[in-house]
Amino acid sequence: MSDFTNGINREIFLDPRHIAKHLPNTASVQRSLRRGRSAHVFNDKVTMDRVAQTIIERGEYTGIVREYERYGLLFTEPIAIELIRMVQRFFCSTAR
């Protein structure tokens, strides 16, 4: 039996250092894409806040990643998109 129940039963907050990397058209998102990383982006801050509040209320503990406790929840509608910089490399060879 898990020690964790659904929802987060203590006061938490969104770390302001991580908000910009989840909003469209921010320098943080562009930097992630330039570095070849993906970015999970919400339509706007209102949507991001609504999703965060829902996870606080009903989310399920999923473990610890990079020293942060993670909670998740399956939504029936799309809540964000994942942007991935697609890099193609072309290798040319010459016939000898």
Residue-wise DSSP of 70-83: EEE---SS---EEE
- Taking only the tens place, the pLDDT of each residue in 60-82 is 999 999 888 889 999 998 899 98
69 strand-pairing partners: 64
- Taking only the tens place, the pLDDT of each residue in 1-44 is 445 557 888 888 778 888 999 999 999 999 999 998 899 999 99
pLDDT of residue 1: 42
pLDDT of residue 6: 76
Q: Whole-model pTM?
A: 0.72
**Is a pLDDT exceeding 90 seen at residue 85?**
no
